[in-house]
Amino acid sequence: MPKPKLNVPRKSAKNQETAEQPSAKDGVRRPRSAALMASTAEKKTRRTRAPRVSEPLPAAIAAWFAKRGWKPRPHQLALLDAARERRSTLLIAPTGAGKTLAGFLPSLISIHNGERKKIGAGLFTLYISPLKALAADVERNLTHPIEEMGLKVRTETRTGDTSLARRQRQRVKPPQIMLTTPEQVALLLSHPDAPYLFADLDTIILDELHALAASKRGDLLALDLARLRKIAPNVMTIGLSATVARPSELRGYLVAQTEPEAETRLSDIVTVKGGAKPVIEILEAENEIPWTGHTARYAMREVYEAIGAHKLSLVFVNTRMQAEFAFQELWRINDDNLPIGLHHGSLEAAQRKKVEAAMAEGRLRAVVATSTLDLGIDWGDVDLVIHLGAPKGASRLLQRIGRANHRLDEPSQAILVPGNRFEVLECRAAQQAAEAGDQDATLSRVGALDVLAQHVLGMACQAPFNPDALFDEVRSALPYAGLTRSQFDRTVDFVSTGGYALKSYERFAKLRPADDGKLRVANPRIVQQYRLNVGTIVDAPHLKVRLVSGRGGKKNIARIGGRVLGEIEEHFAEQLTPGDTFVFAGQVLRFEGIRDTEVFVSRATAEDPMVPSYDGGKFPLSTHLAKRVRDMLSDPSVWSGLPNPVANWLELQTERSVIPAPDEVLIETFPRGNRHFLVAYPFEGRLAHQTLGMLLTRRLDRIGAKPVGFVANDYALAVWAHDDISSLISHGRLSLEELFDEDMLGDDLDAWLAESALMKRTFRLSAVIAGLIERRHPGKVKSGRQVTISTDLIYDVLRRHDPGHLLLEAAWADAATGLLDIKRLGAFLARIKHRIRHQTLDHVSPLAVPVLLEIGVELVYGQDRDAILRDAADELIREATGDLRT
Amino acid sequence: MNMLKPERIGLDDFADQPVLVCGKTFVAHKSGALYWPAEKALIVSDLHLEKGSSYAVRGQMLPPYDTRETLHKLAILIDRYDPETVICLGDSLHDPAGAARMDAADVESLRMLQENRDWIWITGNHDPSIDRMLAGHVIPEIVVGGIALRHEPHAGACTHEIAGHFHPAARLVFHGTSLRRPCFVGNRLRLVMPAFGAFTGGLNILDVAFEPLFDADGLDVWMLGHEGLYPVAPRLLRED
């Protein structure tokens, strides 16, 4: 859908900037609630316009500030000013700047002053956070000051964990401030009483907006905001965000787009300049840095020493597998018995909570964590962030570093530990980006159609709707501002009858027109279905990991029900055979078997466990960092600043092959073993490389080069074939320009997508979000396989019989930016047109070594599944003929 | 509609496989169908036609194309083997009202498949009766050449039987990969056929449901792939 231009703010939009310098006086650690609040000294401020004279604070609140010897910070006052004029505002501030109080202060004052008369249930402020834990955390830190100020303000949380009775009561008698999640807002809006519940809504606070907006959850929330604005036309939004590359996208998100074709309307913005710059070091270990891998095992001794030299270190890694690995390695050398914990998304919630509590109480010295600790919550006095492996993106690095030292005025300390030689370059690039305060730009978001389908059904559950009115309302949400009427109508049609070209389901329509032209749900069962399927988070099927004692296989399992350690992906569990060992939840486990939805394991003492390869959290290298890495690579003058092994490696590459210019792509072809290799270095991240590899393999196959397989990492990909690729090129039978032509994104891509497992996975997510397939609910999974219909079958049938179907369109849009990263691949192919630097070599080049070493470690693609079956059949035949001989 | 003239199927070593049941020779096809050369009969099981619309009636709008797809697959086989008799081993329709929901074009396709040959609908638990508009003979089971063809296999050590009902599937763990596919499963005395319908899932043959049918020894398993069907050693198979 066409996207409206994001323009510079209109004249009417006010830009207020407050810059704060760190103050040495402010370095004393304060209790958490205070850290949220204010600072003693009024900081030197810089504003783009003359400051307004703020109205005095209500006595109770002023007294509270005064009692502590504090004054409200400039941005807190700026937000109060904006609120008085009912202007929606985006507050961009680093952690520790008192963002949360700034967001709540206007509401506290209004509620205290009793400015507005109640016309509905009395819900005044809605605080929406991406994490339910964050909602709980904020409640704790909000109730304290409210009590101390002596205000009569009722605050409550509402999340999926809130009891049913309480949730029911909240719909009738809500608190004045409700702290909740996007999914709960969607659910509340689907109830017939939503207009009454939200009639008094005055302020919506959106926390961690940068983490929420550019996602399907953000789409759903944007649609819900549009509905809230309709119920309460005077509602004001306050967005709280970390620094982002393009604030205008978040500013547009906060306000209604009244003329979607015109330029984007923007909210006000208040920016607090970051505190002290972080101090980032790149670790140089005594052991030589390896060619490949991300585990940073070689530097574990130094990492351990750094932990020992600090109070509390957060050790971030990119995948759960790395988390398990690093945890094992650190404990292996933990001679001082330092309390080191583990935290990642697969662990049982209770275990995670234990670690969080221990952190908060200062009982830990280090926690190895994945992105589960990226956001929001303060778990303790972290004074060092260690990043194992490259951070893959500048914004992620800054976010993670911000976890250390939740105060503006002291620099955060961070150590980056590259996992391999390429990652040295990447860490250096990330360090420079952080130095410059650069962020990764996210692609501007076009709202997903599967999310829209879910929302349309939710609105129908609330009350019969007029399609014209709903269309206008939906387009007032920024992600959907470019939605066409035909897309909207097709979505409504999808919700009602599946939206198939073959119009055979009209009789079973879920939405029926009433006399007034409004659409209503056909029966109450549809409402129930909606409520069970609400939300955009669709997890890969997971199995619980349960610890049982000792061996004994399945028989034993039936009797003993042990402790649940966490969850692992089903497809990982499927690879295991009883007796296999793997590391999980910080211990070595022996796989005993699977029953129903549970994996049974026992404790094992294997020296060399097979490490889980579950996918959780593999980020591709960001475009921004990739560019910096390319620039650094092509500029020999900066190599001297790199560690010796890395500088030598690059020197060697200049001797043996060539270093490409920053706007070129290097392609090397060489023989190795009895195979012929083609290695390309696009630096576009693993996902785009995997897609590229698939397409190149298809094309090479068509030319008759007999490709066998390929591997990809973040920087390069290698394809190998039976035929001599170098000689095909030199004889003019293969043109690299044609091989890498953009037209591969046409038919080749289409043909491959028909079979692609990634595409099928993407389709499944869309089918669940759009409500075509019901979610798998815990406990209902048994016997599911024979009964439920696999989305793979649906995908195949749709592609053949209804290729223009809405869900295929939605899945395609996801694939373009998600798992297949086609957009990025397209940009790459356009960029390198006529800029291919080909080198024919006699043997492998230094630069190619890392990616070749991943053969056998990483998954090799292009492997035909029928080939596996054929091999299994051969095995049987061998067995049978062997039997004959004996 | 040209579904009776499909593209030619590339002949591959594994495209079909001989299968013995009590001394009679059958040909199992990668699509999940079974051909009986001696009787010139094509046998398919568990078509579950109109499964999509059956869900739509209850508010889950699955694509309405499964009948079309299944009949298309069937047409390719009829072209290939030109059987005198087609026998559908039960659960041909997902529910008894399915026939009434069939698209006119699909009914027409079925008629074309039925021309010049005998068509036998064996009843199953999903379709205890078959609407007369679908033509063909309707019977609960039939014995051909000493072999009983029925929907649900008899429990116990029954022989001389070909049945469906269970939608057998196998999970192979091999070369570090796991693969789950529909399969034929038999012991040379009886055979259970995979489901043929476009929207049908599978039940792992290591499930307890199969225990009454076969002894652990002497099991033959053929897994369906894209290009062929492959005999696989039971020791390589795993539970789900």
The string of pLDDT tens digits covering residues B68-84 is 999 999 999 999 999 99
For CA atoms A640, A642, A645, A647, give the dihedral sign. Answer: negative
Structure tokens at A268: 């006000």
Angstrom distances, CA of residue A465 to CA of A23, A457, A458, A461, A469: 56, 10, 11, 9, 8
Please write the tens of the pLDDT for every residue from A92-146. Answer: 987 666 788 889 999 999 998 887 778 888 999 999 988 776 777 787 778 888 9
- The answer to whether A469 faces chain B, any CB pair under 8 Å, is no
Residue B22 is predicted with a pLDDT of: 94
Domain count within chain B:
1
Residue A78 phi, psi dihedral angles, 5° rounding: -60, -40
Confidence of residue A189 (pLDDT cuts 50, 70, 90): very high
Burial class of residue A461 (count of CB atoms within 10 Å of its CB; 0-12, 13-18, 19+): buried
- With beta carbons less than 8 A apart as the criterion, state whether A491 and A449 touch: yes
The mean pLDDT of chain A is: 81
Who contacts B106 (Cβ-Cβ below 8 Å, separation ≥6)? Answer: B67, B68, B71
**What's the pLDDT score for residue B99?**
94
User: Does the residue B2 lie in any domain?
Assistant: no
Q: Is A59 near chain B, with CB under 8 Å?
A: no
Tell me how close the Cα of B62 comes to any Cα of chain A, in angstroms: 7
For residue B221, give the CATH number of its domain. 3.60.21
Q: How many helices (H) and strands (E) in chain A?
A: 35, 26
Q: Select the residue of B61, B179, B227 nearest A868 (Cβ to Cβ).
A: B179
Q: Which residues in B lie closer than 8 A to residue A505 (C-beta atoms)?
A: 53, 56, 61, 64
E strands, A418-505, in order: none
* Cβ-nearest to A508 among B56, B225, B230: B56
Determine, for residues B62 and A870 on separate chains, whether the beta-carbon distance falls below 8 Å: no
Mean pLDDT across chain B: 89
Q: What's the pLDDT at B4?
A: 31
Q: Please name the residue of chain A whose CA is at the shortest distance from the CA of residue B50.
A: A504
ipTM of the prediction: 0.86
Residue of A nearest to B173 (CA): A575
CB A155 within 8 A of CB A139: yes
Structure confidence at residue A776 (pLDDT):
64
Domain A55-272 of CATH type 3.90.600.10: no
pLDDT, residue A609, reads 59
Residue A573 pLDDT > 50: yes
Find the mean pLDDT for residues A848-855: 82
Domain with CATH 3.40.50.300 in chain A: 55-272, 279-436
Q: Yes or no: say if A464 and A533 are a contact pair by the CB < 8 Å rule.
A: no
**Measured between CB atoms, does A793 come within 8 Å of chain B?**
yes
User: By percentage, how much of chain A surpasses pLDDT 70?
Assistant: 82
β-bridge partners, A314: A367, A385
Residue B8, in any domain of the structure:
no
Assign B115 a pLDDT band (cuts: 50, 70, 90): very high
- Per-residue pLDDT tens over the stretch A288-311: 888 877 788 889 999 999 999 999
- For A340-350, what is the mean pLDDT? 83
- Closest partner residue to B103 (CB to CB) among A504, A510, A593 is A504
Nearest to A373, CA basis, from A323, A321, A304, A448: A323
Does the pLDDT value for residue A427 go beyond 60?
yes
The distance between the two most distant Cα atoms of chain A, rounded to a whole number of Å, is: 99
Question: B239 contacts in A (CB within 8 Å)?
Answer: 593-594
Kind and range of the H or E run holding A474? helix A467-475
Closest alpha carbon to A27 in A39, A42, A43, A45? A39
User: Which residue in B61, B179, B204 is closest to A869 by CB distance?
Assistant: B179
Yes or no, beta carbons of A794 and B199 under 8 Å apart:
yes
Q: Which of A495, A789, A800 to mutate to test binding with chain B, by most B CBs within 10 Å of its CB?
A: A789
Q: Which of A262-266, A387-391, A472-476, B216-220 has the highest mean pLDDT?
A: A472-476
Please indicate, yes or no, if residue B202 is contained in any of the structural domains: yes
Residues A864, A707: contact at Cβ < 8 Å? no
In a domain, B163, yes or no: yes
CB pair distance less than 8 Å for B174 and A871? yes
CB A96 within 8 A of CB A35: yes
The pLDDT tens digits for A78-88 are 999 999 999 99
Which candidate from A505, A789, A876 shows the least CB-CB separation from B56?
A505
> What CATH number matches the domain at A279-436, 3.65.10.10, 3.40.50.300, 1.20.120.160, 3.40.50.150?
3.40.50.300
pLDDT per residue over A740-757, tens digit each? Answer: 998 888 888 877 777 677
Q: Which residues contact A885 (CB under 8 A, 6 or more apart)?
A: none
Tell me the residue range of the domain where B78 lies: 16-238
Q: How far apart are CA A607 and CA A12, in angstroms?
A: 67
